[in-house]
A and B are shown apart, each in its own frame.
Chain A
């Protein structure tokens, strides 16, 4: 148990993720352009009383990388299907790039690239042929440039070498890449990616995340649905959390993360004194344990707490902060016992 590394490790993770966001996304997103996706009271009922999505008010700022989080069955995919005009809402409206879905689908969707609930291809066609069919389906795509655009999209997802192999023979990760390639056939204003790194190896995940950052830096708004919280944390500027068909929260990732309370574990023989110091700092639920003291950090910065402990002559054996990550925020928002409010 090394005190200094214990302190630094979570800190470094956070700062590097922050640096990545700042470098790639911060220059491009701005709150002044019209939001790319706006939903008002968007609802979808299946059958008489099962509400898959219930009164969703979602705002996706232009240029953001928007993480869309939620447990299985929380209505994420239903929401995405409504945004893409595949299903009609039973109540409320969904506006994408200024057009109302599903009515404006024909005019809006050429500007949208989408990977929805996993890739789907014609197994007896090659990767290139699959892309050519989807491009032919888009009547606003220029057939004259189709070949080059397909090559470019394949190269971007690293499939150029296997583009002439039948899609049936692709691995899950390759199918996923081909699905992403179809979303990249044209320059898009909005990319909707439903679990884009599903089935990819760690290398592939890194590549796809780098690709998302590059696209975001070029000004494409990315709507990223994922279960992988570190993925959201690494690439997203904004996030929304759904639970049981409702929107629990939305905002910038930094705001979400700071809403999650970090937890402090101090190993010390001077547990009593440490508890007093932490209580004076207004840390929450301070408790002494067999080895030391634990507390909720709340608004207290860990470095301030550490300095205060040392000033008070507390002999610190180890000083560890846990939590304060998006995962804690997510669990706090969607975990058991959380009452969803209207």
Chain B
């Protein structure tokens, strides 16, 4: 890590003494914060549990693809947006990306995010490593920011695992070609791939709210399983609430409300209302629960 930091600093190509001088002149917290950030990324992504969850997520498109390729009876019942994608998969493999994201977004993706988020601080507290990080000293707020950055990275990684796995499975099992959009027009494969990328990013962004909630819950306890269960439980509660029409007044404020808005990215021209509303919602949840986590972290007694 130290080596990459040295390389990315300006003047690294110049003689060593000069480089060292510039490094000294550059002694703002930024390059060092990246030290902890890089360490956090390794912590998140080198953990066996993370592999297991990503492998599980990668298996969803495989199951879905195999089911659609070999066990479908042809008469797909449309209606829901997710199912709309499903009926298209047999015509074009790229739709498996959208179908898989639609299948994993309501529960599997937030579940894995809930596990990582719930563990973020509570796991360190329960292992006792939190006290050593704080005594290092990592700085409480810096640690919280780095933890959230790790969560954002995991949201992206989880979403792209599903998307890339679906892309590969789709390419193998189904024909690929021009993609018919939801309103009937077709766009070429390359543009469709760009749209798929946008959609994956939109799905990853959809997970940021629950990531912030999980991080906050994680600061409340030193029992990681409790934080994980609470976070995943909140996802379930939100989806139950959104399914009950009597709570319609509440619906626009649920972090799950605009989760399916990414379908709008498959229209021409792109309809951005829902996507923007989703961004706002996720930003609001991140700010509110980030601030709560901040307040909690700043004066928490670390007794384990």
Residues of A near any B CB (own CB < 8 A): 81, 84-88, 105-106, 109-110, 112, 114, 116-122, 124-125, 129, 132-141, 143-144, 146-147, 182
Contact = CB atoms under 8 A, between A and B. Distances in A.
B221 to A, nearest CB: 16
A105 B137 contact: yes
A181 to B, nearest CB: 12
A136 B303 contact: no
B138 A137 contact: yes
B272 interface: no
B1 A120 contact: no
B138 A120 contact: no
Given A81-B301, A124-B48, A139-B142, 15 more contacts: A84-B131, A87-B301, A87-B303, A109-B135, A116-B132, A117-B131, A122-B43, A132-B39, A133-B42, A136-B1, A137-B143, A138-B137, A139-B29, A139-B36, A140-B32
B167 to A, nearest CB: 30
A86 B139 contact: no
A155 to B, nearest CB: 19
29 contacts: A81-B301, A81-B303, A84-B134, A86-B135, A87-B303, A105-B134, A110-B137, A112-B135, A114-B132, A117-B128, A119-B128, A120-B128, A120-B132, A121-B129, A122-B129, A124-B46, A132-B39, A133-B42, A135-B35, A135-B136, A136-B35, A136-B39, A138-B136, A139-B138, A139-B142, A143-B2, A144-B6, A146-B2, A147-B2
Contact of B131 (A105, A120, A132, A135): A120
Contacts of A120: 127-129, 131-132
A86 B302 contact: yes
Contacts of B29: 139
Contacts of A114: 132, 135
Q: Quick one: which of A105, A119, A136, A143 has the most chain B CB within 10 A?
A: A136
A118 B131 CA distance: 11
B46 A134 contact: no
Given A105-B137, A137-B137, A138-B138, A182 B132 contact: yes
A87 B302 contact: yes
B38 interface: yes
Contacts of B132: 114, 116, 120, 134, 182
B22 interface: no
A88 B301 contact: yes
B33 interface: yes
A122 B127 contact: yes
Contact of A88 (B127, B136, B139, B299): B299
Q: Quick one: which of B2, B38, B42 has the most chain A CB within 10 A?
A: B2
Interface of B: 1-2, 5-6, 23, 29, 31-33, 35-36, 38-39, 42-43, 46-48, 127-129, 131-139, 142-143, 299, 301-303
B133 A134 contact: yes
Contacts, number: 105
A105 B131 CA distance: 13
A253 B232 CA distance: 55
Contact of B23 (A110, A132, A144): A144
Given A81-B303, A146-B2, A109 B127 contact: no
Contacts of A85: 134-135, 137
Given A105-B137, A136-B39, A143 B129 contact: no
B137 A106 contact: yes
Q: Quick one: which of B33, B127, B135 has the most chain A CB within 10 A?
A: B135
A109 B137 contact: yes
Contacts of A138: 136-138
Contact of B133 (A88, A110, A137, A143): A137
Contacts of B138: 137-139
B80 to A, nearest CB: 41
Contacts of A87: 301-303
Contact of A133 (B32, B39, B128, B142): B39
Contacts of A135: 35, 136
> Which 9 A-B residue pairings sit nearest by Cβ, starting from the closest?
A120-B128, A143-B2, A137-B136, A137-B138, A109-B137, A136-B35, A87-B301, A136-B39, A86-B302
A141 B2 CA distance: 11
Contact of B36 (A117, A122, A137): A137
Contacts of B33: 139
A166 B302 CA distance: 26
Contacts of A182: 132
A85 B133 CA distance: 12
Nearest to B31: A143
A140 B2 CA distance: 14
